Chain A
Amino acid sequence: KNEVEQSPQNLTAQEGEFITINCSYSVGISALHWLQQHPGGGIVSLFMLSSGKKKHGRLIATINIQEKHSSLHITASHPRDSAVYICAAGPQETSGSRLTFGEGTQLTVNP
């Protein structure tokens, strides 16, 4: 079973700071997802990575397959970025999506 660990568990930043959230996993994967859970509870997908780097607005996600590690970066953070960020690792493709989820990183951005 894949073990997915996120760090830090909690992160407080000032508006405008550059933020990094880390995710490591124990076995080889074919896909790594980053999700955002809003304070109201809803979960939305941010990125799916299988290699390299993706960027969407102020969010950048990277993955290093050899080191079994992914990072989510937020540039010029804003209070509206306050949320729980969750990474999820998917094994080599099998029937039925069996993602393993990290516990999440609670991010608070203060004005």
Chain B
Amino acid sequence: NAGVTQTPKFQVLKTGQSMTLQCAQDMNHEYMSWYRQDPGMGLRLIHYSVGAGITDQGEVPNGYNVSRSTTEDFPLRLLSAAPSQTSVYFCASSYSGLVSDTQYFGPGTRLTVL
């Protein structure tokens, strides 16, 4: 099993550009989520999904969009990139979404917005 995969690993954008961060998992997990990690702060939840066709906002959803058309894939879209979105982004999945479930993380995407 590949686990949770993310692409790209690194990306540089100009302010105003849009892009999609890809995330896929092959563990048949129902729950998938996106986090951002910034210096001096804990991981913060952007959006999450409890199953195909179901998404919801996390703590910091503004400027991001998600969809979940299949169990495997959960892309994160930046609609109009801003320097404040410079961060490391992690996709994670777990079996059912219970807080006691083990979280499996992707390798991360380091995004710089100029």
Interface residues of A, dominant DSSP: loop
Residues facing A in B97-114 (CB within 8 A) are 97-105, 107-108, 110
Determine whether the beta carbon of B98 is less than 8 Å from that of A100.
no
The residues of A that contact B101 with a CB separation of less than 8 Å are: 48, 97
Q: Is B27 an interface residue (CB 8 A)?
A: no
Number of A-B contacts (CB under 8 A): 73
Write out, one digit per residue, whether chain B residues 42-56 have a CB within 8 A of any chain A CB (1) or not (0).
111100101000001
Chain B residues, CB < 8 A from A29:
99
Which residue in B41, B48, B98, B104 is a CB contact (below 8 Å) of A45?
A: B104
Question: Nearest Cβ in chain A — how far from B96, in angstroms?
Answer: 9
Chain B positions near chain A (C-beta within 8 angstroms): 31, 33, 35, 40-45, 48, 50, 56, 58, 88, 90, 92, 94, 97-105, 107-108, 110
The 6 closest A-B pairs by CB, nearest first: A90-B99, A101-B42, A43-B105, A31-B100, A101-B43, A31-B99
Other than the given A96-B97, A97-B99, 9 more pairs (CB < 8 A) read A29-B99, A50-B100, A96-B48, A96-B56, A97-B33, A97-B101, A99-B45, A102-B42, A103-B42
